[in-house]
Chain A
Amino acid sequence: MEKIYSRSDVLLDANMGYCPGCLHGVIAKIVAEVIEELGIRDDTIAVLPIGCGALISSVLDTDAIIALHGRAPAVATGLKRTATEKFIFAYQGDGDLASIGLAEIMHAANRGENFPVLFVNNGIFGMTGGQMAPTTLIGQKATTAKSGRTPLEGYPMHMCEIISTLKAPVYIERCSLDSPQHILAAKKAIKKAFMNEIEGKGFSFIELLSNCPTNWSMSPQKSLEYMREHTIAEFPLGVYRDETAKED
Protein backbone atom coordinates (compact mmCIF):
# COMPACT_ATOMS: atom_id res chain seq x y z
CA MET A 1 0.00 0.00 0.00
CA GLU A 2 1.22 3.49 -0.76
CA LYS A 3 1.95 5.68 2.29
CA ILE A 4 0.37 9.08 1.74
CA TYR A 5 0.55 10.59 5.23
CA SER A 6 2.86 10.10 8.19
CA ARG A 7 4.12 11.78 11.31
CA SER A 8 6.46 14.67 10.58
CA ASP A 9 10.14 13.88 10.91
CA VAL A 10 10.46 16.89 13.18
CA LEU A 11 8.10 15.27 15.68
CA LEU A 12 9.76 12.77 18.01
CA ASP A 13 7.97 9.54 18.84
CA ALA A 14 7.65 10.46 22.50
CA ASN A 15 4.90 11.15 25.01
CA MET A 16 3.76 14.77 24.84
CA GLY A 17 2.10 14.61 28.22
CA TYR A 18 -0.98 16.57 27.19
CA CYS A 19 -4.43 15.79 28.59
CA PRO A 20 -6.85 13.95 26.29
CA GLY A 21 -8.42 16.30 23.77
CA CYS A 22 -5.98 19.17 24.39
CA LEU A 23 -5.22 21.12 21.23
CA HIS A 24 -1.63 22.01 22.24
CA GLY A 25 -0.70 18.69 20.60
CA VAL A 26 -2.24 19.81 17.33
CA ILE A 27 -0.07 22.94 17.41
CA ALA A 28 3.04 20.81 17.98
CA LYS A 29 2.04 18.75 14.95
CA ILE A 30 1.44 21.65 12.57
CA VAL A 31 4.51 23.55 13.76
CA ALA A 32 6.62 20.43 13.15
CA GLU A 33 5.12 20.04 9.69
CA VAL A 34 5.84 23.67 8.80
CA ILE A 35 9.44 23.36 10.03
CA GLU A 36 9.85 20.22 7.93
CA GLU A 37 8.28 21.79 4.84
CA LEU A 38 10.52 24.85 5.12
CA GLY A 39 13.57 22.66 5.69
CA ILE A 40 14.71 24.70 8.71
CA ARG A 41 14.90 22.04 11.42
CA ASP A 42 18.66 22.31 11.98
CA ASP A 43 18.50 26.08 12.29
CA THR A 44 15.45 26.26 14.51
CA ILE A 45 15.42 27.28 18.15
CA ALA A 46 12.01 27.22 19.81
CA VAL A 47 11.62 29.70 22.66
CA LEU A 48 8.98 28.06 24.84
CA PRO A 49 6.89 29.40 27.70
CA ILE A 50 6.20 28.37 31.23
CA GLY A 51 2.84 26.72 30.93
CA CYS A 52 1.58 23.71 29.03
CA GLY A 53 3.27 24.99 25.88
CA ALA A 54 6.62 24.03 27.41
CA LEU A 55 5.68 20.39 27.00
CA ILE A 56 6.17 20.51 23.25
CA SER A 57 9.88 20.40 24.06
CA SER A 58 9.49 16.66 24.57
CA VAL A 59 8.30 16.06 21.01
CA LEU A 60 9.57 18.89 18.83
CA ASP A 61 12.93 17.76 17.46
CA THR A 62 14.68 21.12 17.35
CA ASP A 63 16.85 23.11 19.74
CA ALA A 64 14.78 24.83 22.38
CA ILE A 65 14.94 26.99 25.44
CA ILE A 66 12.15 27.23 27.97
CA ALA A 67 12.04 30.88 29.01
CA LEU A 68 10.94 32.18 32.38
CA HIS A 69 7.20 32.79 32.79
CA GLY A 70 6.22 35.56 30.37
CA ARG A 71 9.72 36.33 29.11
CA ALA A 72 9.90 34.34 25.88
CA PRO A 73 9.84 37.47 23.66
CA ALA A 74 12.80 38.92 25.62
CA VAL A 75 14.79 35.68 25.39
CA ALA A 76 13.96 35.48 21.69
CA THR A 77 15.09 39.09 21.26
CA GLY A 78 18.51 38.45 22.82
CA LEU A 79 18.86 35.26 20.80
CA LYS A 80 17.77 36.58 17.41
CA ARG A 81 19.76 39.81 17.73
CA THR A 82 22.96 37.82 18.23
CA ALA A 83 22.35 34.50 16.46
CA THR A 84 20.92 36.12 13.36
CA GLU A 85 21.29 33.04 11.13
CA LYS A 86 19.08 30.91 13.40
CA PHE A 87 15.36 30.52 12.95
CA ILE A 88 13.69 31.57 16.18
CA PHE A 89 10.04 31.41 17.14
CA ALA A 90 8.34 32.07 20.46
CA TYR A 91 5.36 30.09 21.74
CA GLN A 92 3.30 31.42 24.64
CA GLY A 93 0.10 30.74 26.54
CA ASP A 94 -2.38 33.42 27.58
CA GLY A 95 -1.25 33.67 31.19
CA ASP A 96 2.33 33.80 30.00
CA LEU A 97 1.78 36.40 27.27
CA ALA A 98 -1.23 38.48 28.28
CA SER A 99 -0.74 38.54 32.06
CA ILE A 100 2.77 38.29 33.48
CA GLY A 101 4.52 38.89 30.16
CA LEU A 102 2.47 41.74 28.78
CA ALA A 103 5.39 44.16 28.73
CA GLU A 104 7.71 41.75 26.93
CA ILE A 105 5.27 40.92 24.13
CA MET A 106 4.26 44.55 23.59
CA HIS A 107 7.84 45.75 23.35
CA ALA A 108 9.12 42.91 21.18
CA ALA A 109 6.20 43.65 18.85
CA ASN A 110 6.84 47.38 19.03
CA ARG A 111 10.49 46.91 18.14
CA GLY A 112 9.40 44.75 15.23
CA GLU A 113 11.74 41.95 16.25
CA ASN A 114 12.34 39.56 13.39
CA PHE A 115 10.61 36.46 14.77
CA PRO A 116 7.03 35.18 15.02
CA VAL A 117 5.12 34.63 18.24
CA LEU A 118 2.52 31.87 18.44
CA PHE A 119 0.01 32.81 21.09
CA VAL A 120 -2.14 29.99 22.43
CA ASN A 121 -5.36 31.38 23.84
CA ASN A 122 -7.16 28.67 25.81
CA GLY A 123 -8.87 31.12 28.15
CA ILE A 124 -7.37 29.64 31.29
CA PHE A 125 -4.15 28.93 33.22
CA GLY A 126 -3.82 25.29 32.20
CA MET A 127 -0.65 24.14 33.88
CA THR A 128 -1.41 25.50 37.33
CA GLY A 129 -4.88 23.97 37.36
CA GLY A 130 -7.51 26.23 35.89
CA GLN A 131 -7.14 29.72 37.35
CA MET A 132 -8.56 32.73 35.54
CA ALA A 133 -6.54 34.09 32.62
CA PRO A 134 -6.72 37.59 31.09
CA THR A 135 -8.58 35.92 28.20
CA THR A 136 -11.18 34.07 30.29
CA LEU A 137 -14.64 34.94 28.99
CA ILE A 138 -17.17 36.82 31.11
CA GLY A 139 -19.18 34.10 32.81
CA GLN A 140 -16.56 31.43 32.18
CA LYS A 141 -15.67 29.51 35.33
CA ALA A 142 -12.17 29.27 36.73
CA THR A 143 -10.81 28.03 40.08
CA THR A 144 -10.23 31.67 41.06
CA ALA A 145 -13.57 32.83 39.60
CA LYS A 146 -15.78 30.07 40.85
CA SER A 147 -19.10 31.42 39.66
CA GLY A 148 -17.66 32.71 36.43
CA ARG A 149 -15.62 35.78 35.55
CA THR A 150 -17.34 39.11 36.18
CA PRO A 151 -16.29 42.57 34.93
CA LEU A 152 -14.81 43.11 38.40
CA GLU A 153 -11.97 40.88 37.15
CA GLY A 154 -11.75 42.83 33.91
CA TYR A 155 -12.81 41.83 30.41
CA PRO A 156 -11.14 39.32 28.10
CA MET A 157 -8.09 40.90 26.52
CA HIS A 158 -7.92 40.88 22.75
CA MET A 159 -4.26 40.58 21.98
CA CYS A 160 -4.46 40.72 18.16
CA GLU A 161 -6.38 43.97 18.41
CA ILE A 162 -4.02 45.39 21.04
CA ILE A 163 -0.92 44.48 19.02
CA SER A 164 -2.59 45.98 15.95
CA THR A 165 -2.28 49.40 17.58
CA LEU A 166 1.50 49.17 17.12
CA LYS A 167 3.20 50.24 13.96
CA ALA A 168 6.00 47.70 13.58
CA PRO A 169 4.32 44.28 13.35
CA VAL A 170 3.97 43.08 9.76
CA TYR A 171 1.51 40.25 10.15
CA ILE A 172 -1.21 39.66 12.74
CA GLU A 173 -3.81 36.92 12.44
CA ARG A 174 -6.21 35.10 14.75
CA CYS A 175 -6.92 31.47 13.96
CA SER A 176 -8.78 28.68 15.70
CA LEU A 177 -8.07 25.00 16.21
CA ASP A 178 -11.66 23.81 16.67
CA SER A 179 -12.06 22.14 13.25
CA PRO A 180 -9.89 20.52 10.56
CA GLN A 181 -10.68 23.45 8.25
CA HIS A 182 -9.56 25.99 10.87
CA ILE A 183 -6.48 23.92 11.67
CA LEU A 184 -5.44 24.02 8.02
CA ALA A 185 -5.90 27.79 8.00
CA ALA A 186 -3.81 28.04 11.18
CA LYS A 187 -1.05 26.00 9.61
CA LYS A 188 -1.05 28.32 6.61
CA ALA A 189 -0.82 31.37 8.89
CA ILE A 190 2.04 29.83 10.86
CA LYS A 191 3.90 29.05 7.67
CA LYS A 192 3.46 32.60 6.46
CA ALA A 193 4.66 33.98 9.79
CA PHE A 194 7.72 31.71 9.67
CA MET A 195 8.43 32.81 6.09
CA ASN A 196 8.30 36.43 7.21
CA GLU A 197 11.22 35.80 9.53
CA ILE A 198 13.17 33.89 6.90
CA GLU A 199 12.66 36.77 4.48
CA GLY A 200 13.64 39.29 7.17
CA LYS A 201 10.28 41.01 7.12
CA GLY A 202 9.86 41.40 10.86
CA PHE A 203 7.42 40.62 13.62
CA SER A 204 4.44 38.31 13.13
CA PHE A 205 1.80 37.46 15.71
CA ILE A 206 -0.46 34.44 15.35
CA GLU A 207 -3.15 33.91 17.97
CA LEU A 208 -4.46 30.37 18.12
CA LEU A 209 -7.80 29.89 19.87
CA SER A 210 -7.54 26.66 21.78
CA ASN A 211 -9.26 24.59 24.47
CA CYS A 212 -8.59 23.07 27.87
CA PRO A 213 -11.05 20.21 28.40
CA THR A 214 -9.54 19.33 31.78
CA ASN A 215 -9.81 22.77 33.34
CA TRP A 216 -12.96 23.75 31.50
CA SER A 217 -14.42 20.54 32.99
CA MET A 218 -15.75 19.42 29.63
CA SER A 219 -15.38 16.45 27.33
CA PRO A 220 -13.07 17.20 24.38
CA GLN A 221 -16.10 17.25 22.05
CA LYS A 222 -17.99 19.63 24.32
CA SER A 223 -14.96 21.92 24.55
CA LEU A 224 -14.90 22.28 20.76
CA GLU A 225 -18.59 23.19 20.78
CA TYR A 226 -17.88 25.74 23.53
CA MET A 227 -15.15 27.28 21.40
CA ARG A 228 -17.44 27.61 18.39
CA GLU A 229 -20.29 29.04 20.40
CA HIS A 230 -18.43 31.32 22.83
CA THR A 231 -14.70 31.74 22.26
CA ILE A 232 -14.84 32.56 18.55
CA ALA A 233 -17.77 34.88 19.19
CA GLU A 234 -15.63 36.88 21.61
CA PHE A 235 -12.42 36.69 19.60
CA PRO A 236 -13.19 37.23 15.89
CA LEU A 237 -11.01 35.20 13.55
CA GLY A 238 -9.18 36.82 10.69
CA VAL A 239 -6.21 38.78 9.48
CA TYR A 240 -5.68 41.93 11.55
CA ARG A 241 -2.72 43.12 9.55
CA ASP A 242 -0.74 41.90 6.61
CA GLU A 243 1.92 44.30 5.40
CA THR A 244 3.55 41.50 3.44
CA ALA A 245 0.45 41.11 1.25
CA LYS A 246 0.93 44.73 0.13
CA GLU A 247 4.55 44.11 -0.82
CA ASP A 248 3.91 40.90 -2.75
Chain B
Amino acid sequence: MSKLFMKGNEAIAEAAVRAGCRFFAGYPITPQNEIPEYLSKRLPEVGGAFVQGESELASINMVIGAAFGGTRAMTSSSGPGLSLKSEGLSTLAAAGFPAVVVNVMRGGPGTGSISGAQMDYLQATKGGGHGGFKLLVFAPSTVQEAVDLVYEAFDKSWEYMNPCLILADGFIGSIMEPVELPPFKEAKRQEFPVYTTRFFTDKPGRRMCATMIVNEAEQEQWNRVQAQRYERIAQNEVRAEEYMLDDAEYVIAAYGTSARVAKSAVRMLREKGIKAGLIRPITLWPFPYQCFKKLNEKQVKDILCLELSIPPQLIEDIKIGIEGRIPITAYGRSAGMIFTAEEVTEQVEKLVGKNK
Protein backbone atom coordinates (compact mmCIF):
# COMPACT_ATOMS: atom_id res chain seq x y z
CA MET B 1 0.00 0.00 0.00
CA SER B 2 1.19 3.46 -0.78
CA LYS B 3 2.02 6.00 1.86
CA LEU B 4 0.65 9.50 2.11
CA PHE B 5 2.20 12.49 3.79
CA MET B 6 -0.45 13.77 6.18
CA LYS B 7 -0.93 16.14 9.07
CA GLY B 8 -1.93 14.36 12.28
CA ASN B 9 -5.34 15.98 12.67
CA GLU B 10 -6.33 15.29 9.08
CA ALA B 11 -5.04 11.73 9.30
CA ILE B 12 -7.17 11.22 12.42
CA ALA B 13 -10.21 12.54 10.56
CA GLU B 14 -9.62 10.34 7.49
CA ALA B 15 -9.05 7.28 9.70
CA ALA B 16 -12.44 7.93 11.32
CA VAL B 17 -14.15 8.08 7.92
CA ARG B 18 -12.50 4.81 6.92
CA ALA B 19 -13.61 3.25 10.20
CA GLY B 20 -17.20 3.97 9.20
CA CYS B 21 -17.73 7.24 11.06
CA ARG B 22 -20.66 9.01 9.41
CA PHE B 23 -21.42 11.77 11.90
CA PHE B 24 -19.23 14.42 13.43
CA ALA B 25 -20.13 17.46 15.49
CA GLY B 26 -17.58 19.79 17.02
CA TYR B 27 -16.80 23.34 18.07
CA PRO B 28 -13.59 25.08 16.98
CA ILE B 29 -10.65 25.05 19.38
CA THR B 30 -6.92 25.02 18.72
CA PRO B 31 -4.96 22.75 18.21
CA GLN B 32 -7.55 20.38 16.72
CA ASN B 33 -9.26 22.59 14.14
CA GLU B 34 -8.16 20.57 11.12
CA ILE B 35 -10.32 17.67 12.30
CA PRO B 36 -13.68 19.47 11.90
CA GLU B 37 -12.37 21.42 8.91
CA TYR B 38 -11.44 18.23 7.10
CA LEU B 39 -14.65 16.41 8.03
CA SER B 40 -16.91 19.31 7.02
CA LYS B 41 -15.88 18.53 3.44
CA ARG B 42 -15.18 14.81 3.72
CA LEU B 43 -18.28 13.49 5.47
CA PRO B 44 -20.82 14.76 2.91
CA GLU B 45 -18.68 13.10 0.20
CA VAL B 46 -19.33 9.70 1.77
CA GLY B 47 -22.97 10.28 2.65
CA GLY B 48 -22.28 11.32 6.24
CA ALA B 49 -23.29 14.43 8.16
CA PHE B 50 -21.18 17.16 9.69
CA VAL B 51 -22.50 19.79 12.08
CA GLN B 52 -20.50 22.65 13.53
CA GLY B 53 -22.07 22.59 16.96
CA GLU B 54 -22.89 25.84 18.75
CA SER B 55 -20.70 24.63 21.62
CA GLU B 56 -18.88 21.55 22.85
CA LEU B 57 -21.92 20.82 24.98
CA ALA B 58 -24.21 20.77 21.97
CA SER B 59 -21.67 18.79 19.93
CA ILE B 60 -21.34 15.89 22.33
CA ASN B 61 -25.12 15.78 22.70
CA MET B 62 -25.47 15.61 18.92
CA VAL B 63 -23.10 12.65 19.04
CA ILE B 64 -25.34 11.07 21.70
CA GLY B 65 -28.28 11.44 19.30
CA ALA B 66 -26.40 10.00 16.33
CA ALA B 67 -25.11 7.10 18.44
CA PHE B 68 -28.63 6.30 19.65
CA GLY B 69 -29.66 6.06 16.01
CA GLY B 70 -26.90 3.51 15.43
CA THR B 71 -24.44 5.69 13.52
CA ARG B 72 -20.70 5.63 14.13
CA ALA B 73 -20.12 9.12 15.47
CA MET B 74 -17.23 11.22 16.69
CA THR B 75 -16.46 14.57 18.25
CA SER B 76 -13.12 16.20 18.95
CA SER B 77 -11.87 19.05 21.07
CA SER B 78 -9.08 20.18 23.38
CA GLY B 79 -8.85 20.74 27.17
CA PRO B 80 -11.51 23.39 27.89
CA GLY B 81 -13.87 21.77 25.39
CA LEU B 82 -13.37 18.36 26.98
CA SER B 83 -14.38 19.84 30.32
CA LEU B 84 -17.60 21.07 28.72
CA LYS B 85 -18.18 17.68 27.17
CA SER B 86 -17.75 15.82 30.43
CA GLU B 87 -21.47 15.64 31.30
CA GLY B 88 -22.04 14.18 27.84
CA LEU B 89 -19.15 11.72 28.20
CA SER B 90 -20.60 10.55 31.48
CA THR B 91 -23.94 10.13 29.72
CA LEU B 92 -22.50 8.18 26.78
CA ALA B 93 -20.89 5.83 29.30
CA ALA B 94 -24.01 5.69 31.45
CA ALA B 95 -26.17 4.89 28.45
CA GLY B 96 -23.75 2.25 27.16
CA PHE B 97 -23.38 4.04 23.84
CA PRO B 98 -20.48 3.64 21.43
CA ALA B 99 -18.71 6.80 20.23
CA VAL B 100 -15.20 8.10 19.72
CA VAL B 101 -13.98 11.32 21.28
CA VAL B 102 -10.64 12.91 20.43
CA ASN B 103 -8.77 15.24 22.76
CA VAL B 104 -5.87 17.00 21.06
CA MET B 105 -4.33 18.24 24.28
CA ARG B 106 -3.03 21.75 24.84
CA GLY B 107 -1.70 23.75 27.77
CA GLY B 108 -3.83 24.16 30.86
CA PRO B 109 -5.47 24.50 33.32
CA GLY B 110 -8.10 27.11 32.50
CA THR B 111 -8.04 28.32 28.95
CA GLY B 112 -4.31 27.63 28.94
CA SER B 113 -1.97 27.94 26.01
CA ILE B 114 -2.94 26.75 22.54
CA SER B 115 0.22 24.75 21.87
CA GLY B 116 0.59 21.05 22.40
CA ALA B 117 0.92 19.70 25.94
CA GLN B 118 -0.20 16.71 27.99
CA MET B 119 -2.26 18.39 30.69
CA ASP B 120 -5.35 16.16 30.67
CA TYR B 121 -4.05 12.77 31.80
CA LEU B 122 -5.97 12.69 35.06
CA GLN B 123 -9.13 14.02 33.43
CA ALA B 124 -8.94 11.32 30.77
CA THR B 125 -8.12 8.38 32.99
CA LYS B 126 -9.79 9.05 36.32
CA GLY B 127 -13.29 9.70 35.03
CA GLY B 128 -13.30 13.26 33.68
CA GLY B 129 -16.85 13.80 34.73
CA HIS B 130 -19.33 12.67 37.35
CA GLY B 131 -20.47 9.22 38.30
CA GLY B 132 -17.28 7.15 38.24
CA PHE B 133 -17.40 6.09 34.58
CA LYS B 134 -14.43 4.94 32.55
CA LEU B 135 -13.37 5.56 28.99
CA LEU B 136 -11.11 3.27 27.00
CA VAL B 137 -8.23 5.71 26.46
CA PHE B 138 -5.69 5.34 23.63
CA ALA B 139 -2.57 7.52 23.45
CA PRO B 140 -0.88 7.61 20.04
CA SER B 141 2.74 8.69 19.73
CA THR B 142 3.00 8.90 15.93
CA VAL B 143 0.61 9.94 13.20
CA GLN B 144 0.51 6.34 11.95
CA GLU B 145 -0.38 5.12 15.41
CA ALA B 146 -3.06 7.80 15.69
CA VAL B 147 -4.59 6.50 12.45
CA ASP B 148 -4.47 2.89 13.60
CA LEU B 149 -5.89 3.64 17.04
CA VAL B 150 -8.73 5.84 15.77
CA TYR B 151 -9.60 3.13 13.24
CA GLU B 152 -9.67 0.51 15.96
CA ALA B 153 -11.36 2.71 18.56
CA PHE B 154 -14.66 2.59 16.68
CA ASP B 155 -14.67 -1.21 16.74
CA LYS B 156 -13.65 -1.29 20.38
CA SER B 157 -16.33 1.15 21.41
CA TRP B 158 -18.93 -1.02 19.64
CA GLU B 159 -17.47 -4.20 21.08
CA TYR B 160 -17.78 -2.92 24.64
CA MET B 161 -20.63 -0.44 24.09
CA ASN B 162 -18.56 2.20 25.81
CA PRO B 163 -17.09 5.47 24.53
CA CYS B 164 -13.41 5.54 23.56
CA LEU B 165 -11.13 8.52 24.00
CA ILE B 166 -8.13 9.24 21.80
CA LEU B 167 -5.74 11.25 23.96
CA ALA B 168 -3.52 12.92 21.39
CA ASP B 169 -1.70 16.22 21.79
CA GLY B 170 -1.06 19.33 19.75
CA PHE B 171 2.23 17.96 18.48
CA ILE B 172 0.69 14.78 17.08
CA GLY B 173 -2.15 16.89 15.71
CA SER B 174 0.03 19.26 13.73
CA ILE B 175 3.04 17.16 12.80
CA MET B 176 3.22 15.80 9.22
CA GLU B 177 4.34 12.21 8.73
CA PRO B 178 4.00 9.47 6.13
CA VAL B 179 1.01 7.27 6.85
CA GLU B 180 -0.57 4.17 5.43
CA LEU B 181 -4.32 4.53 5.56
CA PRO B 182 -6.48 1.50 6.37
CA PRO B 183 -9.21 0.24 3.99
CA PHE B 184 -12.78 1.56 4.11
CA LYS B 185 -15.12 -0.29 6.41
CA GLU B 186 -18.74 -0.70 5.50
CA ALA B 187 -20.61 2.15 7.15
CA LYS B 188 -23.92 0.64 8.08
CA ARG B 189 -26.23 2.13 10.67
CA GLN B 190 -26.79 -0.47 13.28
CA GLU B 191 -29.39 -0.08 15.99
CA PHE B 192 -28.26 -1.80 19.16
CA PRO B 193 -30.34 -2.91 22.13
CA VAL B 194 -30.40 -0.18 24.77
CA TYR B 195 -29.86 -1.60 28.24
CA THR B 196 -31.95 0.96 30.09
CA THR B 197 -35.03 -0.02 28.06
CA ARG B 198 -35.80 -2.77 30.57
CA PHE B 199 -36.39 -0.19 33.30
CA PHE B 200 -39.29 1.27 31.32
CA THR B 201 -40.99 -1.40 29.32
CA ASP B 202 -40.98 -5.10 28.66
CA LYS B 203 -42.17 -4.59 25.10
CA PRO B 204 -39.86 -6.27 22.64
CA GLY B 205 -38.42 -3.97 20.02
CA ARG B 206 -38.91 -0.74 21.91
CA ARG B 207 -35.76 1.28 22.55
CA MET B 208 -35.66 3.59 25.54
CA CYS B 209 -32.61 5.41 26.72
CA ALA B 210 -32.63 7.14 30.03
CA THR B 211 -29.65 7.65 32.24
CA MET B 212 -32.06 9.12 34.76
CA ILE B 213 -32.84 5.94 36.68
CA VAL B 214 -34.81 7.01 39.73
CA ASN B 215 -35.36 3.50 41.05
CA GLU B 216 -32.39 2.86 43.33
CA ALA B 217 -32.30 -0.91 42.85
CA GLU B 218 -32.32 -0.51 39.07
CA GLN B 219 -29.57 2.10 39.17
CA GLU B 220 -27.48 -0.19 41.34
CA GLN B 221 -28.12 -3.14 39.03
CA TRP B 222 -26.95 -1.07 36.06
CA ASN B 223 -23.86 0.10 37.96
CA ARG B 224 -22.96 -3.57 38.50
CA VAL B 225 -23.36 -4.36 34.81
CA GLN B 226 -21.08 -1.47 33.98
CA ALA B 227 -18.50 -2.49 36.56
CA GLN B 228 -18.36 -5.89 34.84
CA ARG B 229 -17.86 -4.15 31.52
CA TYR B 230 -14.91 -2.18 32.94
CA GLU B 231 -13.51 -5.41 34.35
CA ARG B 232 -13.62 -7.02 30.88
CA ILE B 233 -11.93 -4.02 29.28
CA ALA B 234 -9.24 -4.01 31.96
CA GLN B 235 -8.57 -7.70 31.36
CA ASN B 236 -8.44 -7.59 27.57
CA GLU B 237 -7.31 -4.22 26.37
CA VAL B 238 -4.14 -3.22 28.21
CA ARG B 239 -1.46 -2.18 25.75
CA ALA B 240 2.06 -0.85 26.14
CA GLU B 241 5.35 -0.78 24.29
CA GLU B 242 8.44 -1.95 26.14
CA TYR B 243 11.72 -0.75 24.68
CA MET B 244 15.19 -2.00 25.70
CA LEU B 245 13.95 -3.06 29.10
CA ASP B 246 15.72 -6.42 29.49
CA ASP B 247 18.86 -5.09 31.14
CA ALA B 248 17.64 -1.54 31.84
CA GLU B 249 18.81 0.17 34.99
CA TYR B 250 17.09 3.46 34.22
CA VAL B 251 13.54 3.29 32.91
CA ILE B 252 11.75 6.21 31.36
CA ALA B 253 7.95 6.09 31.48
CA ALA B 254 6.23 8.27 28.91
CA TYR B 255 3.29 8.26 26.52
CA GLY B 256 2.38 10.11 23.32
CA THR B 257 4.75 12.79 22.11
CA SER B 258 6.89 12.53 25.26
CA ALA B 259 7.58 8.89 24.45
CA ARG B 260 8.99 9.81 21.02
CA VAL B 261 11.55 12.06 22.68
CA ALA B 262 12.17 9.44 25.34
CA LYS B 263 12.96 6.81 22.73
CA SER B 264 15.64 8.99 21.16
CA ALA B 265 17.02 9.69 24.63
CA VAL B 266 17.19 5.96 25.40
CA ARG B 267 19.25 5.39 22.25
CA MET B 268 21.58 8.28 23.09
CA LEU B 269 22.02 7.00 26.64
CA ARG B 270 22.81 3.49 25.37
CA GLU B 271 25.52 4.97 23.17
CA LYS B 272 27.01 6.53 26.29
CA GLY B 273 26.93 3.13 27.99
CA ILE B 274 23.98 3.87 30.27
CA LYS B 275 21.48 1.03 30.35
CA ALA B 276 18.27 2.92 29.71
CA GLY B 277 14.85 1.62 28.64
CA LEU B 278 11.33 2.84 28.04
CA ILE B 279 7.82 1.86 29.04
CA ARG B 280 5.26 3.53 26.80
CA PRO B 281 1.63 3.03 27.86
CA ILE B 282 -0.57 2.91 24.74
CA THR B 283 -3.79 2.46 26.68
CA LEU B 284 -3.90 4.94 29.55
CA TRP B 285 -7.03 3.32 30.85
CA PRO B 286 -6.76 0.44 31.34
CA PHE B 287 -3.22 1.26 32.53
CA PRO B 288 -0.37 -1.22 31.98
CA TYR B 289 0.42 -1.61 35.70
CA GLN B 290 1.92 -5.04 34.99
CA CYS B 291 4.82 -3.48 33.05
CA PHE B 292 5.80 -1.63 36.19
CA LYS B 293 4.98 -4.43 38.65
CA LYS B 294 7.40 -6.77 36.91
CA LEU B 295 10.36 -4.36 37.03
CA ASN B 296 13.07 -5.86 39.22
CA GLU B 297 14.07 -3.44 41.98
CA LYS B 298 17.51 -5.11 42.17
CA GLN B 299 18.13 -4.14 38.55
CA VAL B 300 16.22 -0.89 37.99
CA LYS B 301 17.74 1.98 39.96
CA ASP B 302 15.38 4.79 39.02
CA ILE B 303 12.31 5.58 36.98
CA LEU B 304 11.97 8.86 35.15
CA CYS B 305 8.37 9.88 34.62
CA LEU B 306 8.55 12.07 31.54
CA GLU B 307 5.55 14.14 30.64
CA LEU B 308 4.55 17.41 28.98
CA SER B 309 2.79 18.36 32.17
CA ILE B 310 3.65 20.38 35.23
CA PRO B 311 2.77 19.11 37.80
CA PRO B 312 3.24 15.49 36.73
CA GLN B 313 0.08 13.40 36.33
CA LEU B 314 1.16 10.07 34.83
CA ILE B 315 3.23 9.53 37.99
CA GLU B 316 0.05 8.69 39.93
CA ASP B 317 -0.37 5.44 37.97
CA ILE B 318 3.33 4.62 37.97
CA LYS B 319 3.30 4.82 41.77
CA ILE B 320 0.48 2.28 41.86
CA GLY B 321 2.47 -0.05 39.60
CA ILE B 322 5.77 0.33 41.49
CA GLU B 323 4.31 0.11 45.01
CA GLY B 324 7.26 2.03 46.48
CA ARG B 325 9.91 -0.48 45.34
CA ILE B 326 11.86 1.84 43.04
CA PRO B 327 12.42 5.63 43.28
CA ILE B 328 10.40 7.66 40.78
CA THR B 329 11.54 11.06 39.57
CA ALA B 330 9.38 13.31 37.45
CA TYR B 331 10.58 15.63 34.74
CA GLY B 332 8.18 17.77 32.81
CA ARG B 333 7.74 20.74 30.55
CA SER B 334 4.39 22.27 29.75
CA ALA B 335 2.34 24.85 27.91
CA GLY B 336 3.89 24.04 24.54
CA MET B 337 7.48 23.97 25.76
CA ILE B 338 8.99 20.62 24.89
CA PHE B 339 12.08 18.78 26.12
CA THR B 340 14.77 17.73 23.69
CA ALA B 341 16.32 14.27 23.74
CA GLU B 342 19.52 15.88 25.07
CA GLU B 343 17.59 17.48 27.91
CA VAL B 344 16.06 14.12 28.81
CA THR B 345 19.45 12.44 28.59
CA GLU B 346 20.80 14.96 31.09
CA GLN B 347 17.96 14.20 33.46
CA VAL B 348 18.76 10.49 33.36
CA GLU B 349 22.48 11.21 33.79
CA LYS B 350 21.62 13.15 36.93
CA LEU B 351 19.90 10.05 38.27
CA VAL B 352 22.98 7.99 37.38
CA GLY B 353 25.14 10.50 39.27
CA LYS B 354 22.88 10.27 42.29
CA ASN B 355 23.23 6.49 42.35
CA LYS B 356 27.05 6.50 42.16
Contact = CB atoms under 8 A, between A and B. Distances in A.
Nearest to B207: A63
B16 to A, nearest CB: 14
A64 B201 CA distance: 11
B62 interface: yes
Given A82-B22, A82-B23, A103-B54, A77 B65 contact: yes
B57 A74 contact: yes
Contact of A75 (B51, B62, B207): B62
B200 A79 contact: no
Interface string A85-113: 01000000000000000011011000100
Contacts of B70: 83
B203 interface: yes
Interface stretch (A54-62, A198-206, A233-241): A54-62
B87 interface: yes
B69 A79 contact: yes
- Indicate the size class of the contact surface on chain A: 20 to 34
- Indicate the size class of the contact surface on chain B: 35 or more
Interface stretch (A65-73, A131-139, A147-155, A172-180): A65-73
Contact of B73 (A12, A78, A80, A107): A78
B53 interface: yes
A54 B88 CA distance: 18
A120 interface: no
A68 B88 contact: yes
B125 interface: no
Contacts of A75: 61-62, 64-65, 68
A101 to B, nearest CB: 9
A77 B62 CA distance: 6
B117 interface: no
Contact of A78 (B64, B203, B210): B64
Contacts of B68: 45, 65, 75, 78-79
Interface string B175-206: 00000000000000100000000001101001
Contacts of A111: 51
Interface of B: 22-23, 25, 49, 51, 53-55, 57-59, 61-71, 73, 87-88, 91, 189, 200-201, 203, 206-212
8 contacts: A57-B200, A64-B210, A66-B210, A75-B61, A75-B68, A78-B25, A78-B63, A103-B57
Given A71-B57, A78-B23, A78-B67, 6 more contacts: A61-B206, A63-B208, A64-B208, A66-B211, A68-B87, A103-B58
